[in-house]
Amino acid sequence: MRALRLTAWGEPPTTAEVERPVPRGAEVLVRVEATGLCHSDLHVMGAVPGALPYRLPFTLGHEVAGRIADLGSEADGARVGDRVVLYGPWGCGACDRCATGRDNYCDRRDTLAWHGAGLGRDGGMAEYVLAPSARHLVPIDDLPADQAAPLSDAGLTSYHAVAGLRHTLGKGTTTAVIGVGGLGHLAVQTLRATTESRVLAVDVREDALALADRSGADFGTLVRADTAQVLRARTGGTGVDAVLDFVGTTQTLELAVGVLRPGGELAVVGSGGGRLAVSKPGVLPPGFKFSLPFWGTRPELAEVVALARSGAIHVETERFPLSAASEAIDRLRRGRVRGRAVLVPD
């Protein structure tokens, strides 16, 4: 079968012909119908030797949906023919976190040579992918694959970040979403579907603000010198209750802190590498809370799929044939993908 493989650090991935995997024990073989392309794939491709614990070569793709094609002899809870989305974080499988579907916070994460499908283990930018067990699969029934695949990362990561703030997003609150791309637009929809908070969107691109509007944002603004004042004005001067930063640069972190009200909460999802000075006394609002949510849990993925199947969230996607992966990668790198890029085996 054809697969998009990372064979050398810092080099572009290459399409190779590899053996179709055979499921053994608890493993489940899935015929891939769609795989999302993520900024983390770009980080992996650009990693210098030793930066990641992964062993080369492996197939990329950690945002995968498809149909079960075969089962290992001890695979339970899965049926050939079922359509599924892969729960992407693969932990040790034995710690308390993994045992309760929280592989994203596996206690043994630092000892592993992988983080999941396409992240040190063979992923879904191929015709088939092997899941370690049925516990990593969530049924999607008739949800289209290009809608389902992005739920496993863009959807789940956004949902997990919103879930961590939901306690503070009741009636009369306001949330700012910085960065309305593949994750941000789903965060806007998730906020609308699961909280009572008003949503203010911030981006550098007009088309991203249009996407925010289609996703249900109450207001959108381009980044300007006075963005903090513009956002504060939308709250009657109090500031926002929460900020979701999907960019994570020093500029966006400082914008977030500049618009938060006392007791406000900042969740940083974007891997922009920004820095924020935390000191007391200092400039941070009293009661400021900060979090770095990562991916999400398996139970939450089932909740995200349910939201998508109910129509409450819809992923804006740009489809590319797997054979055009290099074009999709280049477009993503240049910030020229609207919503989420999805690769479809051709």
Binding site for ligand FEH (CB under 6 A): 38, 40, 115, 119, 153, 157, 295
Q: Of these partners, ligand FEH, Zn ion, none, which one is at the site of residue 239 (CB under 5 to 8 Å by kind)?
A: none
| Cα–Cα separations (whole angstroms), residue 114 to 77, 122, 244, 343 | 24, 10, 27, 22
Q: Of these partners, ligand FEH, Zn ion, none, which one is at the site of residue 106 (CB under 5 to 8 Å by kind)?
A: Zn ion
Q: Of these partners, Zn ion, ligand FEH, none, which one is at the site of residue 119 (CB under 5 to 8 Å by kind)?
A: ligand FEH
Nearer to ligand FEH, 157 or 175 (CB): 157
Closest CA relative to residue 37, chosen from 296, 339, 312: 339
Distance between CA 264 and CA 241 in Å, rounded?
Answer: 5
Element (H, E) at 14: strand 14-17
> Can you say how many angstroms the Cα of residue 295 is from the centroid of all Cα atoms in its chain?
6
Distance between CA 88 and CA 38 in Å, rounded?
Answer: 12
> 102-121: which residues touch Zn ion (CB under 5 A)?
106, 108
Nearer to ligand FEH, 128 or 295 (CB): 295
Nearest approach, Cβ of residue 299 and ligand FEH (Å): 17
Nearest approach, Cβ of residue 192 and Zn ion (Å): 23
Contact 18, 59 (CB under 8 A): yes
Nearest approach, Cβ of residue 295 and ligand FEH (Å): 4
> Judged by CB under 5 A, does residue 1 bind Zn ion?
no
CB-nearest residue to ligand FEH: 40
Q: Which residue among 16, 95, 223, 276 contacts Zn ion (CB under 5 A)?
A: 95
Q: Which residue among 33, 122, 153, 203 contacts Zn ion (CB under 5 A)?
A: 153
Please give the angle made by the CA atoms of 78, 314 and 188, to the nearest 5 degrees: 120
> Judged by CB under 5 A, does residue 191 bind Zn ion?
no
User: Which of the stretches 96-104, 122-130, 196-204, 330-338 binds Zn ion when contact is defined by CB under 5 A?
Assistant: 96-104
> Judged by CB under 5 A, does residue 92 bind Zn ion?
yes
Q: Of these partners, ligand FEH, Zn ion, none, which one is at the site of residue 181 (CB under 5 to 8 Å by kind)?
A: none
Contact 211, 237 (CB under 8 A): no
Nearest approach, Cβ of residue 108 and Zn ion (Å): 5
x/- map, 235-254, Zn ion, by CB under 5 A: --------------------
Distance between CA 136 and CA 152 in Å, rounded?
Answer: 11
Q: Which residue among 6, 98, 200, 308 contacts Zn ion (CB under 5 A)?
A: 98
Nearest approach, Cβ of residue 299 and Zn ion (Å): 16
User: Which of the stretches 35-43, 121-129, 209-217, 329-337 binds Zn ion when contact is defined by CB under 5 A?
Assistant: 35-43
Nearest approach, Cβ of residue 119 and Zn ion (Å): 8
User: Which of the stretches 32-40, 75-83, 219-227, 323-331 binds Zn ion when contact is defined by CB under 5 A?
Assistant: 32-40
Positions of E strands within 150-190: 174-178
Nearest approach, Cβ of residue 115 and ligand FEH (Å): 5
Nearest approach, Cβ of residue 225 and ligand FEH (Å): 32
Question: Contact residues for Zn ion (CB under 5 A)?
Answer: 38, 40, 91-92, 95, 98, 106, 108, 153
